[in-house]
């Protein structure tokens, strides 16, 4: 809940003040695929524009960022033409290009891989993957909570868990993270919350098993000075 619950409230405030609302749902929008979790994004559709990255909870290779607009006239800028780019006779002759479809003209058609994934897995297939990583995050959070030498920041809202060795200094937390990374053992992020540095485990691999999560905590424990 946390970050996501106030969406309708924020939308109300924007509406009252005539402000535009853009929501960066690069990571969170993946919940929309999940029948179990989609309702947690209640209010998202009231944004004028929403960004979502399917190279996060969508399992696409980078780049797969999307801009969703509530009203199609928001995408009006795409109809801008320039003589040096647009040749009407070529367009009429059916020559393919991304003009009118993308802000990026000389680029790969990145949407193709997304279309293939949606065709292959469908929305429910992607939703199953989302459910799996969210469940893995909750499992990791429970393991941390039950661990006598680790502190959990909070119950996860997406698939990210913040935790730290109890009583460790910020320098120790930073060193643990760097050592695990440089030794090639684990890729953890870091985040500063409530004035302290936390290890950040972002779970995006749908094949993660409970044993992998226990092994991760063992690694952190083994790198924590006594």
Closest residue to ligand PLP, Cβ-based?
26
Residue number, 40 or 55, with CB nearest to ligand PLP:
55
Residues 61 and 38: their CA atoms lie apart, in Å, by: 23
Q: What is the smallest separation between the CB atom of 65 and ligand PLP, expressed in angstroms?
A: 6
Residue number, 6 or 222, with CB nearest to ligand PLP:
6
CB 37 within 8 A of CB 131: yes
Quick check: helix, strand or coil at residue 196? strand
Residue number, 53 or 110, with CB nearest to ligand PLP:
53
State both tokens at 25. 């749902």
Q: What is the smallest separation between the CB atom of 72 and ligand PLP, expressed in angstroms?
A: 24
Beta strands in the chain (DSSP E): 22-24, 49-53, 65-69, 150-152, 160-165, 189-193, 196-202
Going by C-alpha positions, the residue among 43, 105, 46, 39 that lies closest to residue 70 is 46
State both tokens at 7. 């969406």
Q: What is the smallest separation between the CB atom of 204 and ligand PLP, expressed in angstroms?
A: 10
Does the N-terminal peptide bond of residue 4 adopt cis geometry, omega within 30 degrees of 0? Answer: no
Residue number, 27 or 46, with CB nearest to ligand PLP:
27
Q: What is the smallest separation between the CB atom of 26 and ligand PLP, expressed in angstroms?
A: 3
Contact residues for ligand PLP (CB under 6 A)?
A: 24, 26-27, 53, 55, 65
Q: What is the smallest separation between the CB atom of 202 and ligand PLP, expressed in angstroms?
A: 8
Residue number, 30 or 165, with CB nearest to ligand PLP:
30
């Amino acid at each position: 809940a946390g970050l996501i619950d106030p969406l309708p409230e924020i939308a109300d405030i924007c509406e009252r003040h005539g402000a535009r609302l853009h929501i960066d749902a690069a990571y969170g929008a993946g919940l929309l695929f999940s029948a179990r979790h989609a309702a947690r994004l209640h209010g998202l559709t009231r944004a004028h524009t929403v960004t979502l990255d399917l190279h996060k909870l969508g399992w696409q290779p980078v780049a797969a960022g999307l801009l969703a607009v509530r009203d199609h006239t928001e995408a009006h800028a795409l109809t801008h033409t320039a003589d040096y780019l647009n040749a009407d006779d070529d367009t009429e002759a059916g020559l393919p290009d991304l003009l009118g479809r993308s802000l990026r003209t000389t680029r790969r058609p990145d949407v193709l891989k997304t279309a293939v994934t949606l065709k292959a897995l469908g929305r429910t297939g992607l939703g199953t993957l989302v459910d799996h990583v969210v469940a893995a995050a909750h499992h990791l959070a429970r393991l941390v909570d039950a661990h006598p030498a680790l502190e959990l920041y909070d119950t996860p809202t997406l698939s990210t868990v913040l935790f730290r060795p109890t009583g460790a200094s910020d320098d120790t937390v930073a060193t643990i993270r760097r050592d695990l990374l440089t030794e090639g053992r684990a890729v953890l992020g870091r985040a500063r919350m409530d004035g302290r540095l936390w290890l950040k485990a972002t779970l995006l691999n749908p094949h993660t098993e409970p044993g992998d999560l226990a092994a991760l905590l063992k690694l952190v424990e083994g790198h924590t000075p006594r």
